[in-house]
A and B are shown apart, each in its own frame.
Chain A
């Protein structure tokens, strides 16, 4: 199957993404922040927390998919 333009240049996109994230992490050290809870004062909280959350969500969805899926009516495919 033919690869789309975006993914034939997938490596470059991936590197850009990582570089941008790194840049923002560094920038995060220099901006003035107002942590409210303590946990959000940990450096890079806004990066590692969503990462962790998304990974857990995907794992959770996978688990639920085994229990509640697949459905066998007209909506199940």
Chain B
């Protein structure tokens, strides 16, 4: 085993997070601020390379791989943990911040994993950590946390099936780029996409994240989807199928964000939108596109966390979560309002991080002469500024005042927002800060006359449309049926109907069907069973038969009881 593994930053964060669970007050706060900095320092000390030599079953695991791509994502995650901890200093829950460190530490471990088994272990640890973060949101959040866990455990099973099949087919354990040439690789892709919020597994995100506490969603917005973006970049760069998948996600996120009334759900849909944008960029697959995706993952974490922090502060002050209950808070919370406006602008306005990152992906689409993709990405850039930027800022902080009882956010929350705004501004004003960390060498000048003027045209035009259609947008506010309707409404309703609510006649029909199945099984047994003509006895055959019968009986009993 390599000595570097003892300095694995992910382990420091995960075990530090567990230790934090036993502390309270100042020691907890100090640890939560010190750990991300210490982890970043540790990571910086490790030279690029692959470290491992850990034996597991018959495999040698490469637990730690440090290269430019992994290091960039890991550093961004540590930044998110640090700023999130500053913001969450006043968080009363003793579970949330420690769980966020296990979650964020696992995300760091996943982006630094050199092999598929290590990746899977950290992947599952992320699911557990993030579930606990949601859970810390209170009793209301519990059912959503369980639904979230189910989706992610399912995603883990799909990923594990893919990894197993990949290795059984003679594939290398090392996590490298894969071609979509076998069912194993499709399964791995599906496992990754479930965490990214890809169709049809996207409704877990707006279902679960907005139920977390005021600080919980700040942590949640950073890790799971961006880790998925990272693994897609590493595993499937240039896979063309990702372009339509990403654009579909982006379109869905936009439409739902436009209609949604609950502010943090709007931002949750906007996450899916922007992750879709990144996934489409991965599908383009050129070095410029991949640089753009990595850079935009950074910019997105920063501005989305900033917006979520501003809304979190509003939730603490007012207890309200819906656009229709909020408005006119600029008077009571001027500083928070300023940061929210900056967060909206940081999506793509010049001098912010979003401007120097989004344009990379758009340029990549233009260079590849993908006309429709480029046009779609223009729509996404304008639409998300309208749906998540202008809508959130204007509906919450301006517009009709609801005479809400609110005060300015406390200093810890303001510092969290300040640090993020400064980060975005620094990178936006001096792009090499970020460009020098990107995975591939880059020669791109974001600040040309045409780039700046055209981007300002886009933003101003979008703002004009917003103010023209503002009344219509207010009237549209509501909530749409999503895919989760199938498992949250239809499924339980069906089971209830079958178990309790059926009339005598219907129950007879169900029983008739059950009896039919039982008769079929008896018939099968006659022919295939232990003494059956078609299957001479061997013990495993009979066991499988009995298990099948027992399961069928259990199912029948379950419905009859």
Contacts and interface: CB of A to CB of B under 8 A. Distances in A.
B146 interface: no
A55 to B, nearest CB: 6
B469 A48 contact: no
Contacts of A27: 453
A61 B259 contact: yes
Contacts of B473: 58
Contact of B480 (A3, A4, A33, A71): A71
Contact of B467 (A14, A62, A77): A14
Contact of A50 (B399, B402, B448, B458): B458
Nearest to B382: A50
B551 interface: no
Given A47-B457, A50-B382, A54-B386, A68 B480 contact: yes
Interface residues of A, number: 49
Contacts of A69: 259, 478-481
B85 interface: no
Contacts, number: 164
Given A5-B330, A33-B454, A53 B401 contact: no
B460 interface: yes
Interface string B132-162: 0000000000000000000000000000000
A6 B398 contact: yes
A18 B464 contact: yes
Contacts of B456: 20, 24
A54 B462 contact: yes
Interface string B455-490: 111101111111101001100101111100100110
Contact of B454 (A28, A64, A75): A28
Nearest to B468: A55
Interface stretch (B49-57, B366-374, B424-432, B542-550): B366-374
B467 A24 contact: no
Contacts of A1: 400-402
Interface string A11-22: 000100110110
Given A4-B331, A32-B450, A57 B255 contact: yes
Nearest to A53: B379
B235 interface: no
10 contacts: A24-B456, A37-B374, A46-B454, A46-B457, A50-B382, A54-B382, A54-B465, A57-B383, A61-B255, A64-B480
Interface of B: 207, 254-255, 258-259, 261-262, 265, 322, 324, 327-328, 330-331, 366-367, 369, 371, 374-375, 378-379, 381-383, 386-387, 398-403, 448-450, 453-458, 460-467, 469, 472-473, 476, 478-482, 485, 488-489
Closest 8 CB pairs of A and B: A50-B382, A31-B449, A46-B457, A46-B454, A61-B258, A21-B460, A47-B461, A53-B379
Given A4-B398, A49-B382, A54-B382, 19 more contacts: A17-B463, A28-B450, A34-B450, A46-B458, A50-B381, A50-B462, A51-B462, A53-B382, A57-B255, A57-B258, A57-B379, A58-B469, A62-B472, A62-B476, A64-B259, A71-B482, A75-B207, A75-B265, A76-B479
